[in-house]
Structure 1
Amino acid sequence: MDKINAPLPAGYSPVPPGMLANVVTCLEMRARPPVKADPPAGSLRLERWSEPDLDAYRDLFRRIGEEWMWTSRLVMPDEDLKAILEHPGIEVFAMRDGEKRVGLMELDFRKEGECELVFFGLVAEAIGNGAGRLMMNAAIANAWSKPIGRFWVHTCHFDHPGAVSFYQRSGFVPYAFFVEVSEDPRLTGHMRRDAAAHVPLIEAP
């Protein structure tokens, strides 16, 4: 993860108003796990999304992540996001239900010998119909088809409450916690003020 500083001291650490403190869980797998059966796909299909249009990408990113406080790609300058999405070491996939994009999966192979599952999520109406397992099976197969020794992901306590257990059932093992402090995007105009209602909105005086 980027910008890792000195460990926090034991006890409570104050967070300024207008900022968010997010507990991040990092998980990894060091070998390909046993294959889990795919659920029936029905109208679902996963497709590679090469060099996606930034507006279309951010629209899907927002539809999936706004309720879970996904912010990074919403606040990133266009040129930085374009450089990432067009990098040959980045693989972006979209889950479709018919013609509608309902899921996003992004794999990062830029560091030799490993793969990061950077983003993995579904729009609310696609959760619980097997799309998540289809995407995860594809993520694992794609990652381990390359010469890697480590596949890893991080999630946070703002995310879907079932995220950590889903990753563990898929073969990932937790190995570290971090605390991320960042501006609240609901106060900067990057996200709706009523988004992520489970995260209290605390304005600067």
Structure 2
Amino acid sequence: MDTVNPPLPDGYSAVPAGKIANVVTCLEMLEKPPAKPARPGEQGLTIERWDRPDLGEYRALFRAIGEEWMWFSRLVMPDEELRAILSHPEVHVYGLTDGGRRIGLLELDFRTEGECELAFFGVVTDAIGQGAGRMLMNAAIDKAWARPIRRFWVHTCHFDHPGALSFYQRSGFRPYAFMVEVTDDPRLTGQMRRDAALHVPLIEPR
């Protein structure tokens, strides 16, 4: 038995008010899949390496993409910790731009030898369904497998866009594990809008 992370008991487990419980699905690909075709909507979009991004600009894009899907980890992370990650030579950050506007974020983490984590991936709401996500995923797969890796992996959760899990699977990732994450609700700590992610009930302590 894993004594550090013991399994949850069967049945229901109570979550205290003020907390959120998130079911996470871990997925991986062990070889590069065939490329998916581009769509006409991808024309005019560009993907550019974003070296040592300014924390304010990075968090603004992170929030624009993920606030409705309960992306909050980089919003609550201390500045120095986030800066250390984003400036690490084995963490590659890219922005997807439409004209002069950043509409997508791609972050590849090669810090574990032989692996690449798709740490963050997403596009702003008005770009969903327009081909931008497929363009960004094709680039993610190409850039990850251009390195000598054995495994490319990602995790998503039930708070995320309802099409996220199937998109990852269509892209060649295969589920291999579930996890449950329990954290403070960032809408109650002031780190996210109280009316963000309305599909996730907000339960305040009495």
Question: With structure 1 as the length reference, what TM-score do the two structures score?
Answer: 0.97
1:166 aligns with 2:167: yes
Segments of structure 1 that go 5 or more residues without pairing to the other structure are none
| Superposed displacement of residue 42, structure 1 | 2.1
Determine helix, strand or coil for the equivalent of 2:202.
coil
* Structure-2 residue corresponding to 1:75: 76
Distance 1:16 1:138 in 2: 41
* Structure-1 residue corresponding to 2:97: 96
- 1:56-106 CA-partner distances (Å, limit 9, x unpaired): 000000000000000100000000000000000100011101100000010
Segments of structure 2 that go 5 or more residues without pairing to the other structure are none
Distance 1:47 1:133 in 2: 16
* Structure-2 residue corresponding to 1:65: 66
Amino acid at match of 2:157: C
Determine helix, strand or coil for the equivalent of 1:168.
helix
* Structure-1 residue corresponding to 2:57: 56
* Structure-1 residue corresponding to 2:20: 20
Tell me the C-alpha RMSD between the 2 structures: 0.8
| Superposed displacement of residue 30, structure 1 | 0.4
1:197 aligns with 2:198: yes
- After superposition, residues 89-168 of structure 1 pair within 5 angstroms as 89-168=90-169
Distance 1:160 1:6 in 2: 29
Determine helix, strand or coil for the equivalent of 1:176.
strand
Determine helix, strand or coil for the equivalent of 2:188.
helix
Distance 1:114 1:51 in 2: 22
Amino acid at match of 1:12: Y
| Superposed displacement of residue 5, structure 1 | 1.8
Amino acid at match of 1:149: R
| Superposed displacement of residue 109, structure 1 | 0.1
- 1:145-190 CA-partner distances (Å, limit 9, x unpaired): 0000000000000000000100000000000000000000000000
Say how many residue pairs are matched: 202
* Structure-2 residue corresponding to 1:32: 32
Distance 1:6 1:104 in 2: 34
Question: With structure 2 as the length reference, what TM-score do the two structures score?
Answer: 0.97
